[in-house]
Amino acid sequence: MSKLVTIYGGSGFVGRYIVRRMAKAGWRVRVAVRNPNEAMFVRPYGVVGQVEPILCNVRDDASVRAAMQGADAVVNCVGILVENGKNVFDAVQAEAPERIARIAAQSGVSRMVHISAIGADPESDSDYSRSKGEGEAGVLDHMPDAVILRPSIVFGPEDGFFNRFAGMTRMSPILPVAGADTLFQPVYVDDVAKAAEMAVKGAAKGGIYELGGPDVDTFRGLMQRMLDVIHRRRLILNMPNPIARMMAFGFDMLQAVTFGLFTNNMLTRDQLKNLKNDTVVADDAMGFDTLGIDPVSMTSVLPDYLWRFRPSGQFDAIKDSARNLRRS
């Protein structure tokens, strides 16, 4: 019988790519998510019955244990960018990874892969980065040979970064950003999934890997690259810190007074803290080189999914050609 991997958060942005890779590798895949009905799209990644979404609450021991029953390996992809209701950083990114690792150790699971983030630090003043760091420590306490992957900003067709800002260009001639000079090293989502696949198969030694693509650029530079791809001209405006703090405070308060009916996906005070630090691979860190993976560049992927934000969408290039013919 083929081996079984349980992937917590397997219907998310990164998780679905890991699910697809593990199914192609012949593994049975159990996708543990909060809403299985919304994760049915992962089932066609394998043959009938190979990929199965199941209900799981990572805040509950019994639920995590049930999802892990019989698994040969586990992958944790659960994470949040914004707190809302019971899904707070401590519960989701600090306690849940420790819970999964503890139960994996008790259940005799041989391998664990944990998706974290560059900048994870238990001493950080950002709740996001602090909880990520505490989660890593909890994983290593119980599964010292676990593989922890720390990607920079992850890009791909379903990403919430380039798609979000490209969408903003449809409505405004100005593209406001906070932390315009902060450095990032975007990494293609399937490269992260490839690293996770290697770890699940035992082809990567235990430890922490920082994953970044071949391009390092500032926030402002990334926005300009995006604008070049979607053929739009917009003023990239770096918001002064006082204004950014006031906006973030206002959005956070709006979420609080509406009791979560409005989710602050715009800008939070915690995100501002993170934007003070560069998100790039450390010089002495293990990474793609250690794994023998040649990461994909942004220029080879962004046009494949950002074309829909061009003024004429898929016909933009044709219109440009026609315009040049008229000039000739």
Q: 193-227: per-residue pLDDT in tens?
A: 999 999 999 999 999 999 999 999 999 999 999 99
- What integer is the mean pLDDT of 88-114? 98
The count of other CB atoms within 10 Å of the CB of residue 19 is 29
Report how far apart, in Å, the C-alpha atoms of 56 and of each of 31, 61, 271, 288, 327 are: 9, 10, 28, 31, 61
Q: Percent of the chain at pLDDT above 70?
A: 97
Ranking 14-28, 53-67, 253-267 by mean pLDDT, the lowest is 253-267
How far, in Å, CA of 138 to CA of 47, rounded? 35
> For position 48, what pLDDT does the model report?
95
Residue 136 DSSP SS3: helix
Question: Domain 4-155+186-213+280-295 is of which CATH architecture?
Answer: 3-Layer(aba) Sandwich (3.40)
Note if the pTM is more than 0.75. Answer: yes
Report how far apart, in Å, the C-alpha atoms of 117 and of each of 40, 94, 210, 312 are: 27, 13, 8, 36
Question: Which of 109, 112, 173 minimizes the C-alpha distance to 140?
Answer: 112
Calculate the average pLDDT of the chain: 95
- Residue 153 predicted with pLDDT over 60: yes
Domains of the chain, by residue range, sit at 4-155+186-213+280-295
Q: Percent of the chain at pLDDT above 90?
A: 91
Q: What is the pLDDT of residues 56-83, one digit of tens each?
A: 999 999 999 999 999 999 999 999 999 9
**pLDDT interval class at 238 (50, 70, 90):** very high
> For position 314, what pLDDT does the model report?
80
- Residue 121 predicted with pLDDT over 60: yes
